[in-house]
Amino acid sequence: MKLRPRKDNYDDQFALDDPYGRDLGGEAYIQTFLRGSYQANTRGTPAPGSPPRLGYLYVEAVDFKDGKRYRYTGSVKAVGRKDVTAENVRRALAVDPAYDLNIYAYVLDKVPAPDPAPRYGVTYDDISTREEREYWIAGSSLRVIDLNTHEVMAERIGYMMDRGQGSDAGGRLPWLLAADHACPAFAPRHGATSQMFKALDFTESVLKPKLEK
């Protein structure tokens, strides 16, 4: 997997860092691909017809810092304790003395990856031209690749445009608002809020996750 930069780009017109394809940055991008991550970070019942978003048991990627390949897994773990002096916690304990005081979160684990390397990979590129960026248009390519044969198994091409042409009036963030004018579209409204997990959705449509643990 090709990782995405940690830093968000909301207003750099000519940085070729794929604003269309950016779900999240750094380790948060890795987390979107892992089993149970979507469920741990989403409340409510998915709407009918929603993507499965099962995730994969592990993901491997080369770390920018040392050039080594690592395997990432994830799970829900206790990461802290609730304040027993807080009023809502006191009420909960009064009702149920066995009330769970743990605070839970989905946590990544990172270890050196064993051989052999994965058969399939997910990579992306910013395909914008200078002329397109002059008009605040960003182009994106997301590909699923057979790493043994170097065959591109599937590719998603997408574009988006900031209709405000980079204006920062009223504190607007051009690339964030450009997600409202994307093709293929992310959502009818507030497209930026729907960019997350789109890379997983595309990848799962090609590489079906196994259901066993």
Structural domain spans, the chain: 19-73+113-206
CB atoms within 10 A of CB 81: 11
Give percent above pLDDT 70 in the chain: 99
Cut 0.85: pTM above it = yes
Please report which confidence band the pLDDT of residue 43 belongs to, taking 50, 70 and 90 as the band edges.
confident
The enclosing H or E element of 203 equals helix 198-206
pLDDT at site 213:
59
CA 157 to chain centre: 17
pLDDT of 10 above 80: yes
Q: What are the phi and psi torsion angles at 132 (to 5°)?
A: -65, -40
- The pair of structure tokens assigned to 178 is 């450009």
Cα–Cα distance measured from residue 116 to residue 119, given in angstroms and rounded to the nearest whole number: 9
pLDDT at site 46:
79
Cα–Cα distance measured from residue 76 to residue 206, given in angstroms and rounded to the nearest whole number: 27
What order of strands is seen across the sheet that includes strand 137-146?
120-126, 137-146, 151-161, 182-183
Average pLDDT, the chain: 93
- Burial zone of 62 (CB within 10 Å; 0-12 exposed, 13-18 middle, 19+ buried): middle
pLDDT at site 106:
96
pLDDT of 152 above 90: yes
- Burial zone of 128 (CB within 10 Å; 0-12 exposed, 13-18 middle, 19+ buried): buried
pLDDT of 60 above 70: yes
Cα–Cα distance measured from residue 119 to residue 147, given in angstroms and rounded to the nearest whole number: 5
C-alpha distances in angstroms, 35 versus 79, 88, 124?
Answer: 19, 32, 21
- The pair of structure tokens assigned to 189 is 């409204």
Cα–Cα distance measured from residue 26 to residue 13, given in angstroms and rounded to the nearest whole number: 21
Is the CB of residue 54 less than 8 Å from the CB of residue 193? no
